[in-house]
Amino acid sequence: MRRILLWMARNRFLKRTLPRLWFVRRATRRFMPGETMEAALDAAEAFRPHGMGVLFTRLGENLTDLSEAQAVADHYHDLMRKIAARGMDAEISVKPTQLGLDLDREAALEHLRGLATHAAEMNGTLRIDMEGSAYTDPTLDLYRSLKQTHPNAGICLQAYLRRTPADVESLLPLHPSIRLVKGAYDEPKEIAYRRKSEVDAAYHALCVQMLPYAARGELRLGLGTHDTQLIERVAESARGAGFTTDATEVEMLYGIRHGEQLRLAKEGYRVLTLIAYGEAWYPWYMRRLAERPANVLFALRQIFG
């Protein structure tokens, strides 16, 4: 089921057709509050009373024209001005291919620099998402270049990739900000763990690798997962090694395990909710369904009322 859904996420015909159907659009509301920036900003207000932060991402990937990248960057600058005007505890998270990485690496880097400068003026971090494995090296390369001029840049790494421990090792001297996720794409077994138990073990091992650096303030570690058992295991390992978990934060997606997000925030974790919005939601939404096939039943119930 996971593989079929991930195939559907990439299928061009379905990508063109399904989002046009209003009842399919209705089903997406569970994971995204709306398609507009204002809908996302309004939804974020609900997290403020709980002391939770927010990450925003405008959906879209793999542009075909560089002028679209400029429009995306302008959109994010506008969003950051609105975040500042509302006095929100919020940052943005961007996909390199949405800023034109496929078309012109230097142009994408310039957009990242502009956004990171704006984020720094707001005392914030510019987060970079990680896409499919074809983009791992180009994205890490962009991150290294950006980090030279902008210390406030963060990157996402995927625990399911066998290469990730080595990537962490190579990034450590940069004092990086890393969001560790399990990984959302359909990757071959030669380069990625495919069984949940293996991915979970890799995730935990990566945290153990990074915790000493986080405890010394040389790394900012974001646990980008809804797997609260795993978060507890990481916390136990931290305590066992004499570290506090203050150096880590938990990042989850809007609409997923909301009760657990509130609980962790109440227990003293720094919790950030990532709110995705925008019109180009189809592949992103299909990846959310693939993560938990039970979501398909939920979506069908929404679709058929």
- 51 vs 216 by CB, closer to ligand FDA: 51
Ranges within 145-164 binding ligand FDA (CB under 6 A): 156, 158
Least distance CB 243 / ligand FDA (angstroms): 22
Known active-site residue 141? no
Cα dihedral 193/203/271/177 (nearest 10): -100
Buried (b) or exposed (e) across 241-254, using 16+ Cβ within 10 A? eebebebbbbbbbb
Q: Nearer Cβ to ligand FDA, position 136 or 152?
A: 136
Q: Which stretch binds ligand FDA (CB under 6 A): 70-78, 105-113, 275-283, 287-295?
A: 287-295
Interface residue with ligand FDA, options 183, 215, 270, 283 (CB under 6 A):
183
Using CB under 6 A, pick the residue from 43, 69, 130, 210 that binds ligand FDA.
130
Q: Binding-site residue total for ligand FDA (CB under 6 A)?
A: 24
* Residue partners of 78: CB distance under 8 A and separation at least 6: 37
Q: Does 60 bind ligand FDA (CB under 6 A)?
A: no
Pick from 54, 73, 235, 253: which binds ligand FDA (CB under 6 A)? 253
In the region spanning residues 216 to 245, those forming contacts with ligand FDA, defined by CB under 6 A, are 224-227
Distance CA 30, CA 302 (A): 10
**Structural contact between residues 227 and 200, judged by C-beta atoms closer than 8 angstroms:** yes
- Cβ 242 to ligand FDA, closest distance in Å? 26
Q: Give Cβ neighbours of residue 293 (< 8 Å, ≥ 6 apart).
A: 1, 2, 5
User: How many angstroms from the chain centroid is the CA of residue 114?
Assistant: 20
Of 157, 130, 287, 165, whose CA–CA distance to 221 is shortest? 157
> Which residues ranging from 185 to 214 are in contact with ligand FDA (CB under 6 A)?
185, 196
DSSP 185: S
Cβ proximity to ligand FDA: between 55 and 247 the closer is 55
* The one segment of 8-16, 180-188, 204-212, 239-247 that binds ligand FDA by CB under 6 A: 180-188
Is 129 noted as a catalytic residue in this protein?
Answer: yes
> In 3D, which of 246, 224, 226 has the Cα closest to residue 235?
246
Name the segment binding ligand FDA (CB under 6 A); options: 20-28, 44-52, 210-218, 286-294: 286-294
CB-based contact 277:59 (threshold 8 Å): yes
Q: Which residue has the tokens 């709980």?
A: 50
Provide the annotated active-site residues: 129, 179
Would you tell me which residues interact with ligand FDA (CB under 6 A)?
129-130, 156, 158, 181-185, 196, 224-227, 251-253, 256-257, 274, 288, 291-292, 295
